[in-house]
Structure 1
Amino acid sequence: MIRTVGILLAGGLSRRFGSPKAFAEMDGRLFYEQVYEALAAACDQVVIVARPELIGCFPAGLDVIADLPEVAGKGPLAGICSAMEKWPAERYLVLPCDMPFVGPKETQALVQLSSQADVTAVQTAAEKIPLFSLWNGNWSQGLKKFIELGNLSVFAFLETIDTEWVASSLIHEDPAVFQNINTRIN
């Protein structure tokens, strides 16, 4: 079994952003490229979860999947669940494509700080960041059942399991590194 799989969430509708965030550019690189690099530094395998119509936009050779049919379009939990079903592993490092400031040092630091909790997630002084997190590999079926019951909130799921919140300052001193980009950077 694979030890750590990185889950790059790239399936959002990007309504506020106006176009798929995965292909937005910053400093000459696409958001998904930066996030992929960050995950690859701490994982044995990286899977990108995208909307079906975007799968062909990613380069050949990358593992890109869509949500499982039974949870398709049901938000980030569906993406996490779909990746868990495709790639059984001991644990999963989750990072959305709209957090391009998180780099290899930060992903490696989160892995090092993780405990025996079901999920280890990051929080700044201002907010909790549930989608920059490390998940225990045994939650695939429980997560799928949660979604199938109509529950789509990441926070609500994390409240049902043992979740440890790690201070972002232990990972990087600048909380701006942990922001997600919802509008275009000028």
Structure 2
Amino acid sequence: MGRDKGLVDYHGTPQREYLYHLLKEVCDSVFLSIRSEQLQETPPSFNTIVDQNEYKGPFNGISSAFNAHSNVGWLIIACDLPFMDLPSLQQLVGKRNPGKSATAFKNPNTGNPEPLCCIWEPNGLQEAMNFLKNSDYPSPKQFLMDAEILLVQPKNEQALFNANSLSDYDFVKSKLKEQERG
């Protein structure tokens, strides 16, 4: 994308703020996972967890959240899901099974779990940390593929669209404009 995807504006506000407010509708507490250099540009009213840089990639934010509050389930949502909406979050939360390691949306294209659109349970996060210590391939998706999880088929498959390029940005803006017209 060439810039911080959390600051991209799809809905009249930076994407990370849009998702933060959406999550407040379904979660008791919401936190932004940020790098230390992002702290100054983050609204002071937002709860934050600064990444501890223990791991590369997505596990960095997930493990930082777990280390901050290890006794709760974490609904993890990537900032680059511009079509994520409240009904999708409500669906995932409504299907949650705390007896599993995680409850994840199933990617409609691959059939794999989406680790960054997932409720990670405390026991699953502990299992994931053990997986990281013993793995040469520290992938949250790989962990979920081998773990005891609940996979949920999203009603709105578009909610899992991951925007990573300028052409993706243009596509999203075009689709959102179409949806507004209705």
TM-score using structure 2 length: 0.81
Q: Does 1:33 align with 2:50?
A: no
Q: Does 1:132 align with 2:114?
A: no
Give the structure 2 partner of residue 118 of structure 1.
Answer: 101
**C-alpha distance in 1 between matches for 2:127 and 2:159:** 31
Deviation for aligned residue 1:65: 2.1
Q: Does 1:44 align with 2:28?
A: yes
Give the structure 2 partner of residue 55 of structure 1.
Answer: 39
Give the structure 1 partner of residue 127 of structure 2.
Answer: 142
**C-alpha distance in 2 between matches for 1:162 and 1:44:** 25
On the 8 A contact 1:91/1:134 being kept in 2, the answer is yes
Count residues in correspondence: 164
**C-alpha distance in 2 between matches for 1:124 and 1:160:** 16
Give the structure 2 partner of residue 180 of structure 1.
Answer: 162
On the 8 A contact 1:38/1:105 being kept in 2, the answer is no
On the 8 A contact 2:59/2:138 being kept in 1, the answer is yes
Larger proportion of strand: 1
Give the structure 2 partner of residue 7 of structure 1.
Answer: none
On the 8 A contact 2:77/2:116 being kept in 1, the answer is yes
Q: Which runs of 4+ in 1 moved over 4 A?
A: none
| Identity over aligned pairs, percent | 26
Give the structure 2 partner of residue 107 of structure 1.
Answer: 89
Give the structure 2 partner of residue 96 of structure 1.
Answer: 78
Deviation for aligned residue 1:87: 2.1
**C-alpha distance in 2 between matches for 1:152 and 1:67:** 16
Assess, with a 3 A threshold, how the Cα gap between structure 1 residues 141 and 164 changes in structure 2: closer, same or farther: closer
Deviation for aligned residue 1:79: 0.8
On the 8 A contact 1:55/1:65 being kept in 2, the answer is no
Give the structure 2 partner of residue 168 of structure 1.
Answer: 154
Deviation for aligned residue 1:138: 2.3
TM-score using structure 1 length: 0.79
Assess, with a 3 A threshold, how the Cα gap between structure 1 residues 29 and 77 changes in structure 2: closer, same or farther: same
Deviation track 1:56-93 (CA, whole Å, cap 9, x = no partner) reads 11100212222225x15x11112111101112343111
Give the structure 2 partner of residue 87 of structure 1.
Answer: 69
On the 8 A contact 2:11/2:18 being kept in 1, the answer is no
Deviation for aligned residue 1:151: 3.5
On the 8 A contact 2:100/2:124 being kept in 1, the answer is no
